[in-house]
Amino acid sequence: MTKLSVNINKVATIRNARGGNTPDVLKFAKNCELFGAEGITVHPRPDERHIRYQDVRDLRKIVTTELNIEGYPCESFVNLVKEVVPHQVTLVPDPPEALTSNAGWDTVKNEAFLTDIVSQFHEYGIRVSIFVDTDERNIRNAVKTGADRVELYTEPYAANYSLDRERAVADFVRAASVAAECGLKVNAGHDLSLLNLKYFHEQIPFLAEVSIGHALISDALYLGIEKTIQEYKARLK
């Protein structure tokens, strides 16, 4: 069964717009778990424009499913991960000032760097996933870094889904198959939604996990978070 991890960055964005603690990020995370989410994902950035480092510390104390921390492995991020020791860390290549993740790692060019980071996190017993595109070379080379999983960057699929879904998903099916052949489990995330998730999962049923934030939180504004999580989980059956 493919797990649903809810990225709660946008909840923190709303909170930070007015200060205070409304909406309550911790309460929201607990409700996501209560309503069926199998994980919570956060992407703390050094400027703390959404999830703050203290949020991560506080979430680690109350998350009972799986905490996934994603981010660029700058010094402050690495130190935070070692302090908190989440269940999973997802390494993304975007610099701290980037608006959102928009590309996968070149695992060949960055092999030595990634190998060192993965090794450090493995010393703490943390599962490591590397954010990649569908380039077979980058997936195969992710094995050399010691990573446990890859997360497929799915924005190109989402952008082309309404034009030709079979063509849009084809590269991802191939990429996931290559990863599985290499012994890597496969996660996926970025712009997956109620519209396109079911078909993606049907084509790659062995996905270990999907991490969804922006679309899911937006849907919750209309449907409520309980109903929204139920709808997303239904598409993963």
At residue 157, the pLDDT reads: 98
Position 147 pLDDT exceeds 80: yes
Q: DSSP of 163-220, one letter per residue? A: T-HHHHHHHHHHHHHHHHHTT-EEEEESS--TTTHHHHHHHSTT--EEEE-HHHHHHH
Q: Band of the pLDDT at 163, cuts 50, 70, 90?
A: very high
Share of the chain above pLDDT 70, in %: 97
> Is 151 part of the annotated catalytic residue set?
no
Catalytic residue among 33, 38, 43, 66: 43
> Is 190 part of the annotated catalytic residue set?
yes
Catalytic residue among 33, 38, 190, 209: 190
Catalytic residue among 70, 151, 201, 209: 70
> Is 43 part of the annotated catalytic residue set?
yes
At residue 46, the pLDDT reads: 87
Position 228 pLDDT exceeds 80: yes
Share of the chain above pLDDT 90, in %: 95
At residue 103, the pLDDT reads: 82
pTM: 0.95
- Helices 25-34 & 9-18, crossing angle to 10 degrees? 150
